[in-house]
Amino acid sequence: MSVRGANPQDIPELVRLREILADRMAQDGSYPIESQWQEAYAESLKDRLGSLDTAVYVVDAPEEGLAACGIGLIFEPFPGPSLPDGRYGYIQGMTTDPRHRRRGHSRSIMVSLLQWYRDSGIRKVDLHATSDGEPLYREFGFVDDGYPSLTWRDLS
């Protein structure tokens, strides 16, 4: 198995994998799924692939398409006491096609993402985990950070 950076030709498959993840997150609980998000997601991927603040890693499926993917983002809010340069990472969209699970794809992608963060000088990375993915992330050292995760949504 080989992890590689995604390219524009992978976008339809990245959207497909994100649909799988959205369905899984909805099963875990309160994850609302908006309609017609796929086109905006594809456009955003097209705009951000290759940028310095985004890494998209994939594993090809043996037959065709993608077996798994993961996205790393770097955000730069104001510096603070725990992050003197203010930058932190967020992992989004870690997904393995159900036909290709339990083969180490997500683990390999996580290794690549964490190395990208280290190479970029990022010292803190956040993510939201499904119940399926949480044990793997904990193996990599992800922990509860002590602050509750709160979300506001405009319901109007």
Mind listing the pLDDT tens digit for each residue in 38-94?
A: 999 999 999 999 999 999 999 999 999 999 999 999 999 999 998 899 999 999 999
Q: How far apart are CA 24 and CA 49, in angstroms?
A: 25
Averaged pLDDT score across all residues of the chain: 91
pLDDT-based confidence at residue 132 (cuts at 50, 70, 90): confident
Minimal CA–CA distance to 46: which of 83, 9, 5?
Answer: 9
Q: 0.85 exceeded by the pTM?
A: yes
Element (H, E) at 89: strand 88-96
Please tell me the least confidently modeled range out of 17-31, 35-49, 111-125. 17-31
Element (H, E) at 154: none
Mind listing the pLDDT tens digit for each residue in 84-97?
A: 999 999 999 999 99
Q: How far apart are CA 104 and CA 90, in angstroms?
A: 21
Residue type, 94: M
Model confidence at 150: pLDDT above 80: no
Residue type, 14: L
Q: Write down the residue that tokens 């709160």 correspond to.
A: 150
Residue type, 60: D
Helix runs in 3-152, H state only? 11-28, 38-48, 105-119, 134-139
Q: How far apart are CA 3 and CA 153, in angstroms?
A: 35
**Alpha-carbon dihedral sign for residues 132, 137, 139, 144:** negative
pLDDT-based confidence at residue 33 (cuts at 50, 70, 90): low
